[in-house]
Amino acid sequence: DAGVIQSPRHEVTEMGQEVTLRCKPISGHDYLFWYRQTMMRGLELLIYFNNNVPIDDSGMPEDRFSAKMPNASFSTLKIQPSEPRDSAVYFCASRMDRGTYNEQFFGPGTRLTVL
């Protein structure tokens, strides 16, 4: 299996622009998570889906952030409009629903820089 795939790996944009981050989870995984990593705040859970349905989006910082999962193999995280404080590494992770320990498989991340 290719693992969790994220694109792009790096994104540089200007303040006010729309940014879309993409994720393909591991096939057969039921859960998908979006995280943001910064030096100051560490790793923060933004939102997670179970069977394509958003379960908890309480970590989404504000209305500028939105996430969708139109099918089991694709999810997007959109920031509109972007701001310099959104600069971070964004990770997508997925896992199976198998009733045991919670191993999440992480993608390589998208490094976002907003100028």
Binding residues (CB under 8 A) for another protein: these are 4, 31, 33, 42-43, 45, 48, 50, 55-56, 91, 93, 101-109
In whole angstroms, give the CA distance from residue 43 to residue 97: 22
- Sheet containing 74-79: order of strands: 5-7, 19-24, 74-79, 65-71
Q: Which is nearer to another protein, 17 or 38 (CB)?
A: 38
CB of 81 to another protein, least distance (A): 27
In whole angstroms, give the CA distance from residue 13 to residue 45: 23
Q: Which is nearer to another protein, 22 or 81 (CB)?
A: 22
In whole angstroms, give the CA distance from residue 44 to residue 55: 16
Q: Which is nearer to another protein, 4 or 60 (CB)?
A: 4
CB of 35 to another protein, least distance (A): 8
